[in-house]
Structure 1
Amino acid sequence: MPMDLYRAGDVYVLNADMPGIDPGSVDIDVDGQLLTIRGERTLANHENVKWLTRERTSGSFLRQLNLGQGIDLDNISATYANGVLSVTIPVSEAAKPRKIEISSEKQETVTLKEGEKRLNA
């Protein structure tokens, strides 16, 4: 099962070619950080025919992907259209890039004696 995986903003998108596969025969599950896609491709049985060429494969398939850290496992979703399974894998809020604000301490001027000054940090 050929697939592409890319990141678009705050989600990863996995596209897997599955032409001719009934989406009802595909199972997707997550166990820990392991995403598993499994299913079965069945071909129609034609009785009383003599095959000249039969190149389309049938049988079960399995593909596993280690998701690593920083994934929102509860919001993974999948769609199937035009023979392509698309799995959307969101990045968790904690793993998203964010700006860290820098605070500064105010410096105070203290008068020690007339005409002398010291900076306190």
Structure 2
Amino acid sequence: MVLRNDYREFDRLTARVFDTATRNAGARLDAYRDGDTFVIDIDLPGVDPAGIDISVDRKVLTVRAERKRVEREGVKYVVAERPTGAVSRQVFLSESLDTDRLEARYENGVLNLSIPVTEKAKPRKFEVAGV
């Protein structure tokens, strides 16, 4: 019996450690280039899109959001594992991106940011003149 209780305690401790690590990790993202557009997809499940704050300052993109627990009168949670609270994520952007034309969409818990590549950063072809 003692061994079984030790495992339960170990499970509880492990769950607390990983829960803390997950909460402090910030919003998960994917970033990639799709043709002439740089795309960032950020997971923000359960967030009100109206409360998402996006800013760019000196090529540093900052996204802030908050996930709130819906308060219900007379409800006492037995288990509350879904993360709540403020989330902030910063991404350092290249000088070759046109942040003035950044577009943002929120769908199915994912914030999608599309930033066009500037004309000067796009690949160019040059013709060779014959002599």
Q: TM-score range by the shorter chain?
A: 0.7 to 0.9
Q: Alpha-carbon deviations, 1:60-112, whole Å to 9, x = none?
A: 1110000022111211110011111100011000000010122233xxxxxxx
Shift, 1:47, TM fit: 3.4
What is the DSSP-based 3-state SS (H/G/I as helix, E as strand, rest coil) of the residue aligned with 1:74?
helix
TM-score, normalization: structure 2?
0.76
Match of 2:20 in 1: none
Match of 2:108 in 1: 82
**Equivalent position amino acid for 2:39 in 1:** V
Structure 1 residue 14 and structure 2 residue 14: aligned? no
> What are the equivalent positions in structure 2 for 1:1-121 lying under 5 Å apart?
1-105=27-131
- Cα distance in structure 1, aligned partners of 2:60 and 2:73: 41
Tell me the C-alpha RMSD between the 2 structures.
1.1
TM-score, normalization: structure 1?
0.81
**Equivalent position amino acid for 1:27 in 2:** D
Q: Alpha-carbon deviations, 1:19-52, whole Å to 9, x = none?
A: 1110011010111111110111111113333322
**Equivalent position amino acid for 2:105 in 1:** T
Q: Alpha-carbon deviations, 1:3-30, whole Å to 9, x = none?
A: 1111110001111111111001101011
Greater strand proportion: 1
**Equivalent position amino acid for 1:91 in 2:** V
Greater helix proportion: 2
Structure 1 residue ranges (4+ consecutive) displaced by more than 6 angstroms after TM superposition = none
**Equivalent position amino acid for 1:65 in 2:** V
| Larger deviation, residues 82-91 vs 49-58 | 49-58
What is the DSSP-based 3-state SS (H/G/I as helix, E as strand, rest coil) of the residue aligned with 1:94?
helix
Unaligned runs of at least 5 residues, structure 2: 1-26
- Cα distance in structure 1, aligned partners of 2:99 and 2:43: 23
Unaligned runs of at least 5 residues, structure 1: 106-121
Provide the aligned length of Structure 1 versus Structure 2.
Answer: 105
What is the DSSP-based 3-state SS (H/G/I as helix, E as strand, rest coil) of the residue aligned with 1:43?
coil
